[in-house]
Structure 1
Amino acid sequence: MKDNPLMIYVISDSIGETGELIAKAAAKQFEASDYEILRFPYHNSIEAIEPVFEDMITKEKKALIYTNVEENTRKYIENRTKELDIPTVDVMGPPMKALEQALGYGPLREPGLIRRLDENYFKKVEAIEFAVKYDDGKDPRGIMDSDLLILGISRTSKTPLSMYLAHKLIKVCNVPLVPEVPVPAEVYKKDPKQIVGLIAGSDKIFSIREERLKSLGLHSSTKYADLKRIQEEIDYSTRVMKEIGCPIIDVTHKAIEETAELILEYINHPEL
């Protein structure tokens, strides 16, 4: 005759995913045992939890894992498990107690906080998607919708800067400046206070472009990596930026983070 299976009850005031994962991980260590996991999500009141204990009473082999954080329900679960002598795992209690001792103040005790996607999360996703969509002048329509427009010749870190700033919740569009390609009309319609130009020394651009060509298996003697051509591009881009009246940042010796901080400072204090 087959033994009755172990019934593992998971009670949570949120979706109970954490408790179930712990139950599965622990049960896997007893592969010879027959078990079943019963999850009871959004049980954040005594009235909701009480029927679960009524069901547990009828089972021969049972264990309880709970992740509740609200004090009243926690006390009720603790008292009932002691009364019924049910093996129990309090997932949230010990970690919250340890952090309370370390920080010197109590927890919020609000269910489901880990799964709440706040406004900043959605803004970040939106900004990243915007940066990808309007990278490298793909679509000039993004210029007017952007929080910031970055101008510069190829290899002045426009794309990595755009992505870095997107994580700061800023919607960035970047447009390459090439002498033979007309500057999109939208650039001149944009408020100069929302535009930043990037330049770099010709030697710096040359070395970056040369490495780029090598990685692509192309010959380094192309026009793209010609010093004279690069200087022409730099001069051209500088003229355009001055004509627009936007700030110009020399990124020759700057890390992405350093340039980003300068841009953020300018965005927050354009009058300086």
Structure 2
Amino acid sequence: MRKPIIYLISDSLGETAEKVIKSALLQFVNGQEYEIIRMPYVEDQEKLKQVLDSASCDRAIVGYTLVNPDLRYFVKHQAIERGLEAIDIIGPTLEAMEKIFKKKPRLEPGLSHQLDEAYFKRIEAIEFAVKYDDGRDPRGIEQADIVLVGVSRTSKTPLSQFLALKSFKVANVPIVPEVDPPEELFQTDSRKCIGLKISSEKLNSIRKERLKALGLKENANYAAPKRIDEEIAFFDQIVDRLGCPVIDVSHKAVEETANLILHLLNVNN
């Protein structure tokens, strides 16, 4: 048996066609027993004729993902004239869904590729949030879409991750009286910085719970009211110097704070 050749014609990259055809081929042959020739970005009849002529010479199977119904019709009938086996990979699905949804498809090539780009952008944002969490590397401040500034236990990390799921690159900077914030913080655009404020009473309660969870005594300096007041006073100095918006997170869920942040960014942009 001769080695089968499969031409894959697409009005985009042709990745969908290749995945479907390869999955089907595995039921008959292994990866070394066939050849795939991908023909991406084919969007007119003249180019289709050239591809089908080449497929005829190779006595190839043709698989195609074309969202334009006129081009699908053209391939179908040209393949019949040439005696080619042609597989319309996406057409029957589009036609069935058109009946179900009672609306015409958008007929825009490459939408799945756009979805892939959105997915990878989100993954990149999540990795960014992890890398530049808790002021680990101040170089992330300039690259970030959003910079969160706050004392310990103001939900900087969960907020960073939540916003990353919306594809925003977020860096967060902890504010500690004994440590000067990185110079990068004052050199970046203050409009993308958000201060996270919290009441001393709420912070005291949160930190006591944190100490208990760690098996430590509640009266540690970390949760002492005097220490908390010092940290909040230093935080106020920093955000005043930055001139950035401040959100009181004392009684807000992460989702609520995230929505406020996005609203503020829209206002500032």
Task: Please classify the TM superposition score into its range, dividing by the shorter chain length.
Answer: 0.7 to 0.9
The C-alpha deviation readout for 1:238-266, integer Å capped at 9, x for no partner, is 22344445534234x54322221232334
Give 2:223's match in structure 1, choosing from 221, 227, 230: 230
AA aligned opposite 2:246: P
Q: Do 1:23 and 1:37's aligned partners in 2 also have CA atoms closer than 8 Å?
A: no
Task: Select the residue among 109, 112, 118 that pairs with 2:110.
Answer: 112
Aligned partner of 1:46 in structure 2 is 45
- Number of aligned residue pairs: give it: 257
Q: More deviation in 69-78 or 185-194?
A: 185-194
2:216 to 218, 221, 224: 221
TM-score (norm 1): 0.72
Deviations 1:50-98 (A, max 9, x none): 24433444566x5321112233321211112333454332111122223
8 Å contact kept, 1:148–1:196: no
> What CA distance in whole angstroms lies between the structure 2 residues aligned with 1:35 and 1:192?
59
C-alpha contact 1:12 1:41 (8 A) present in aligned 2: yes
Distance in 2 separating the partners of 1:145 and 1:37: 44
Q: CA deviation at 1:11?
A: 2.0
2:15 to 14, 17, 27: 17
Q: Rate the CA distance shift 1:12–1:187 in 2: closer, same or farther, 3 A.
A: closer
Q: Say if 1:237 and 1:263 are closer, same or farther in 2 by CA, change over 3 A.
A: farther
Partner Cα separation in structure 2 for residue 145 and residue 97 of structure 1: 45
Q: CA deviation at 1:144?
A: 6.7
**8 Å contact kept, 1:196–1:263:** no
C-alpha spacing 1:238/1:97, structure 2 compared with 1 (3 Å): same
1:31-70 aligned at under 5 Å gives the runs 31=29, 35-42=33-40, 43-57=42-56, 62-70=60-68
Q: Is the 8 A contact 2:62 2:86 kept in 1?
A: yes
Q: Between 256-265 and 228-237, report the one with greater CA deviation.
A: 228-237
Q: Could you tell which deviates more after superposition, 152-161 or 130-139? A: 130-139
In structure 2, the residue matched to 1:257 is 255
Greater shift in the superposed pair: 22-31 or 39-48? 39-48
Note the residue ranges of structure 1 that are not aligned, 5 or more in a row.
214-219
Equivalent residues in 2 for 1:111-150, closer than 5 Å: 111-116=109-114, 131-132=129-130, 134-140=132-138, 148-150=146-148
Query: What is aligned with 1:240?
Result: 234
Change (3 A) 1:6 1:118: closer
Taking structure 1 as reference, are residues 26 and 257 closer, same or farther at Cα in structure 2, changes over 3 Å only? same
- Rate the CA distance shift 1:168–1:12 in 2: closer, same or farther, 3 A: closer
Q: What's the Cα RMSD here?
A: 3.9
Instruction: Report matched runs for 1:203-222 at 5 Å.
Output: 203-211=205-213, 213=214, 220-221=215-216
Aligned partner letter, 1:221: L
Contact 1:194–1:267 (Cα < 8 Å) also in 2 = no
Which amino acid is 2:216 matched to?
A: S
Other structure's SS at 1:29 match: coil
Structure 1 pair 154–82 and aligned structure 2 pair: CA distance change class (3 A): same
Q: Which one is further off, 114-123 or 143-152?
A: 114-123
Unaligned runs of 5+ in 2: none
Normalised by the length of structure 2, the TM-score is: 0.72
Distance in 2 (alpha carbons) for counterparts of 1:263 and 1:115: 30
Q: Are 1:158 and 2:156 an aligned pair?
A: yes
Q: Distance in 1 between matches of 2:71 and 2:5?
A: 21
CA deviations on 1:92-120 (whole Å, 9 max, x unpaired) are 11222233334443233233333248997
- Call closer, same or farther: CA 1:89–1:233 in 2, change over 3 Å: farther
CA contact (8 A) 1:10 1:19 kept: yes
Deviation at 1:194, TM superposition (A): 3.7
